[in-house]
Amino acid sequence: MTIYLSNDSNVVDWMRKMTTSRLDKRYKMTHLAEDMKVNYSMLYRFMNGKPVGQEFFIAWFKYFVN
């Protein structure tokens, strides 16, 4: 996987953009959290700019790389 970033963005911003692009009216954050095998609260914290642990980033990349 190759990640292209602009000068004013970082990897976490890109991750949030990718996560938001997966969500819609029928596929909500609760469904994504289940599919990623993380707690909803952890995904919610990540999407709102709060700190999350390393296990979240591992689960995120496992889900989005496949």
Does residue 14 lie within any of the structural domains? no
Residue 23 structure tokens: 């969500």
Does residue 8 lie within any of the structural domains? no
Split into its structural domains, the chain has a count of: 1
- Which structural domain range is residue 56 located in? 25-65
Does residue 19 lie within any of the structural domains? no
Per-position b or e across 49-64, b if 16+ CB within 10 A of its CB: eeebeeebeebbeeee
Q: What is the pTM of this model?
A: 0.85
pLDDT digits (tens, 9 = 90+) for 6-64: 788 888 988 999 999 999 999 999 999 999 999 999 999 999 999 999 999 999 999 99
